[in-house]
Structure 1
Amino acid sequence: MCTVTYVSPAPGQFILTSNRDEAPSRGATRLVVEEKEGKRLIFPQDPAAGGTWIAVASNQRMVCLLNGAFEAHNRQTPYRLSRGIMVLESFAYANANAFFQRYDFNGIEPFTLILYDYGALWELRWDGREKFIRALDPRGTHIWSSATLYPADVRFRREQWFARWIENLSAFSVGAMLDFHLHAGDGDTWNDVVMNRGDIVRTVSITSLEKTESNLNFRYFDLLTANEQKAQMELTREEVESN
């Protein structure tokens, strides 16, 4: 997994959309809303390991996971910790920098992590040995494709699809971004944004996360069951004013 896009309709607001490409047996079963580390979290739960690939908290933090760092890697099992559990544990830290500097990433399979933290946008790549941290423009447009599934030429092609899509939009909206995540591509079922590689790996779900001035709106679409789940989290007055 997976394909992730980020756009910002207005300062302090964003729409992040994630296609999860996985074995169909690992499709998440439910959207979880729970208190964890003193914060209210919303996330779709991976039934295999209990972790997640995307989560948002009431303190305006969002974390989204992609497998792989820069290129496909040879797996060296067993790994110390699931990447999906790491996503949930990241919310125990006061801010993104504290997580980057203090968390023990040793023994975790390579990954790319996208974090939105109090108005700042970050990218963390871990190649199994080293951390690569990059600050991104929170008012920009961004797309990521998992390095484990998509080689560099396919990732570049997807960046072109996204750029053309953005050029033709009059405004950013959840509906417009879902349209991209459902329909973008050139007819290559192995590499279109909704992909299927012989039902061994396929796009099993689409998650839409919208941050407005006052709310976090979470929508989870299970493409295997055609089921949609929604959750909303209201930001406190102090959190809204911190934008």
Structure 2
Amino acid sequence: MCTVTYLPKTDGCFIFTSNRDEAPHRSPENLDTTTISGTQLLFPRDTAAGGTWVIAGSNGTIVCILNGAFLKHKHQPPYRRSRGLMALDFFSFDTLHAFVRQYTFEGMEPFTMLVIRSGQVTDIRWDEKELNVQAKDATKPHVWSSPTLYTPEMQQKREQWFSEWLDGQDTFEQSAILHWHRTAGDGDPENDVVMNRNNIVRTVSISSIEATPLQLDFTYHDLLRQQTKKAQLPVNHEALAVHHRKN
């Protein structure tokens, strides 16, 4: 949950990709499914806390969690609830606005939550004091890096790597952005997009979701076991229409 990109395509299509930098023992082998409030969810389940860092929902929604808000914070447990479980909790609410208004953020460790829903990209950050909600331009590419692992200078350098990659792209293809997520950097193993800090924290997987109006194609690359799992999740257009009416 540490390097994330969003690439818009045409007609409501997009590609969302997330590198997870975490302790290797917490990395799952398979994609999991569950249903919350009538929405089928597809995601890799954290083997420690039971939550997740990226979810595809049959209502066309994608939720992703990065550790930290704006700056690196001091880890001071216990916390009310894990951030990965909060990502699943999101689907208990009818709308994003309901989640923002009604969820109990007090006692949560700082996080960045990205929500891609109904042609909108929303960046939600909690710094233990305030909730910051920002709408991003869904027609433009974006990149995020977790502030708990990467200084503002390293985040800026990653934005530069991403910008340089964008300059060479006429169209956005999943294979191309996956190559960037595997290879971008300047040769520093502690800060490249696929990173490794003495095997204590390293990039354990790459999750990529290609979204069309009909389905979400989820590809999960397990870098530890060198295997790839793929699954498709059809979009429930009735649920999507209900969401539009409520918003």
TM-score bin, normalised by smaller chain: over 0.9
Q: Which residue of 2 aligns with 1:200?
A: 200
Cα deviations across residues 145-176 of structure 1 (Å, max 9, x unaligned)? 00000000000000000001011012101111
Q: Secondary structure at the match of 1:50?
A: coil
TM-score calculated relative to the size of structure 1:
0.96
Cα deviations across residues 189-225 of structure 1 (Å, max 9, x unaligned)? 1100000111111000000011012110001011000
Q: Which residue of 2 aligns with 1:10?
A: 10
Q: How does 1:99-178 map to 2 (within 5 A)?
A: 99-178=99-178
Contact 2:40–2:57 (CA under 8 A) maintained in structure 1: yes
**Count of paired positions:** 242
Counterparts of 1:36 and 1:240 in 2: how far apart (Å)?
15
Counterparts of 2:65 and 2:17 in 1: how far apart (Å)?
12
Cα deviations across residues 113-134 of structure 1 (Å, max 9, x unaligned)? 1001222110001001110000
Contact 2:205–2:222 (CA under 8 A) maintained in structure 1: yes
Q: Secondary structure at the match of 2:52?
A: coil
Q: Which residue of 2 aligns with 1:39?
A: 39
- 1:75 partnered with 2:72: no
Counterparts of 2:91 and 2:132 in 1: how far apart (Å)?
20
Q: Does the C-alpha gap of structure 1 residues 145 and 114 become closer, same or farther in structure 2, counting only changes over 3 Å?
A: same
TM-score calculated relative to the size of structure 2:
0.95
* Percent of aligned positions that are identical: 48
- 2:233 partner letter: M
Q: Does the C-alpha gap of structure 1 residues 79 and 240 become closer, same or farther in structure 2, counting only changes over 3 Å?
A: closer
Contact 1:95–1:117 (CA under 8 A) maintained in structure 2: no
| Higher mean displacement: 147-156 or 24-33 | 24-33
Q: Secondary structure at the match of 1:157?
A: helix
| Higher mean displacement: 51-60 or 7-16 | 7-16
| Higher mean displacement: 7-16 or 196-205 | 7-16
- 2:195 partner letter: M
- 1:229 partnered with 2:246: no
Q: Which residue of 1 aligns with 2:28?
A: 28
Counterparts of 2:11 and 2:69 in 1: how far apart (Å)?
29
CA deviation after TM superposition for structure 1 residue 136, in Å: 0.7
> RMSD of the TM alignment (CA)?
1.3
Counterparts of 1:239 and 1:12 in 2: how far apart (Å)?
17
Contact 1:28–1:46 (CA under 8 A) maintained in structure 2: yes
CA deviation after TM superposition for structure 1 residue 186, in Å: 0.5
Q: Which runs of 5+ in 2 are unaligned?
A: none
CA deviation after TM superposition for structure 1 residue 240, in Å: 7.4
Q: Which residue of 2 aligns with 1:191?
A: 191
CA deviation after TM superposition for structure 1 residue 239, in Å: 6.1
